[in-house]
Structure formats: structure tokens, C-alpha cells
A and B are shown apart, each in its own frame.
Chain A
């Protein structure tokens, strides 16, 4: 029961990040060109995704032995988790700019306008393709999350519910706001998801190679806490190397000036 909830929450959070990114692009197409093109592309991508997940997801669960699946899933989750964790740690340490959904939105709008795209009534192929590509790519990542989490924990249902809940929430909030979801703490979400992917990947990957974790499923929260502590220490290590902020620079220059005079 505990594992099912953990899978649901992990799938929800990881999918939410992907849905926010897809929503930003669909919003750009909707506002710059028209909503018909945006929705047409989104619907086409959703159908393509349903077919892919239906075929490959079912085949994976039915024909691949559980140990081999856990091994492969473990490798992929650790890789993805570490990739997200690395970026999140660099952002928290001040060595990388925070991911800014609003800046991406403005940039995309400017790009579309520079291409000569303008609001029109009829379905625009470029708008459809842009929506389709973005929803398909982000949707593939959601499908990956659902299949890996769901199959390794034998809780595909929980993973699907988590992803669906995230999708509905992002679309509802976005439709009400009709603006890029800049209040969503995307970097914090990515950090949390990175921790969860790495922890789950370590747990299932470890089982796949033959490690018998102490107290089995109960070891998962211990892994989560362990990775939280490790990333905290890594952020503390990296912070002193971050470039000084403008206010700090001014204070430093003023102090240096006084010392010289």
C-alpha cells in the first residue's frame, strides 16, 4: 500500500514538471496563432502517445521478466535522476540560472512573431506541428515515468493515476490563469523529482543486481533521506564558488575602495 502511494506521488510530481513545459508551448501557439491549431496538435500527440504506451507498455509488462525489468528501469531512473539532480544542485548553489518558464514563454512568442506568425482563424500547419512536437516529447517522458515506475513496482495503475492527476491539475490551473505557470516552483519540483528518481532507481536497480535491502521496501525512505543529505552537502561545497550577486559586488567594491584609500 505504501509503495503504491509512493509511486502515485512520484509519478504525479515528475509528470507535473513535464506537463508545465508542454503547456507553455501550447499556450504560445494558442496565443500567437490560434487555439484550434494548438488543440489539434495536442490531440494528435495524445493519440500517438496512447498508441505507443498501449503497445510498448503492455509488451514490457507481459514479456520481460521482473528482475531484468527492475535492472533496466534502475539504470534508466538513476541516469535521469542524477541528470535532474545535477542541474537542481547547480541552480541551488548559484552556479546555473534558475529555470524561468516566463522567460521561455516570452522568447517563444518573440520567435513566433519574428517568423511572421500572427493570429488567424484557420488551422495553421506550423502551429499544429509545434504543439504536436512539444506535447509528444514531454508526453513521452511522462509515459517513460509511468511505465518505469509502474512496472518496477507492479503498480501501473497508481502511476497512471498520478500522471493523470498532474495533467488535469496543470491544464486546469493554466486554463484559469491563461499565463505561463511562473508561480509553480519548477526548480524545487525538479529537485524533489531528481531525489525520488535516483532513490527509486537505486532501490530497484539494486534489487535487479541482487542486493537485498535492509527491511526491503522500508529502506526506500532511508535512501531518500540519504540522498537529501548528500545533495545538501554538495550544495554547501559548491556555494562558495558561485559568482557574487550585483548587491554583493557593490559592497565588495566599496570595501576594497575604502581599504585602498
Chain B
């Protein structure tokens, strides 16, 4: 679910930045990729729930 939401946010935000706000290209690229990576990190972080650090 997290991956789906993060991907949707990345694409919708990207579209808004490009077509509604005419944001600079590098900013759009950073936000787009950032949302994708953020979604991956978030869903992996959820897997750590209830786990203690072993090392």
C-alpha cells in the first residue's frame, strides 16, 4: 500500500510541478525520484516494527 501511495504521490506531484507550477526541471526530477526512494525506505522501515537491533 505504501509503495502504491508513494508512486502515486511521485507522479501526481511531478505532473503538478511541471504543468501547473512550471517548476525548474532539476527540482521536479529531485522531488519525483525522492518520493519513489522515500516510499521504498518507508515500507522497509515498517518491516522493522517489533524488531530489536541485534548487532
Interface residues of A (CB under 8 A from B): 71, 74-75, 78-79, 82-83, 85-86, 89-90, 95, 198, 202, 205-206, 209-213, 223, 226, 230, 234, 237-244
Contact = CB atoms under 8 A, between A and B. Distances in A.
A78 B7 contact: yes
Given A82-B3, A83-B3, A230-B37, A209 B44 contact: no
State the 3 A-B residue pairs at the shortest beta-carbon distance, nearest first. Answer: A210-B18, A209-B14, A240-B55
A86 B14 contact: no
A6 to B, nearest CB: 19
Contacts of A83: 3
B36 A238 contact: no
B51 to A, nearest CB: 5
Contacts of B53: 240-241
Contacts of B40: 82, 85-86, 230, 234
A198 B36 contact: yes
A204 to B, nearest CB: 12
Given A82-B36, A240-B54, A234 B41 contact: yes
Nearest to B6: A82
A95 B33 CA distance: 26
Interface string B2-45: 01100100110011001100000100110011001101110110
Given A206-B32, A210-B19, A211-B25, A82 B39 contact: yes
B33 A202 contact: yes
Q: Which interface residue of A90, A209, A237, A240 has the most chain B CB atoms within 10 A?
A: A209
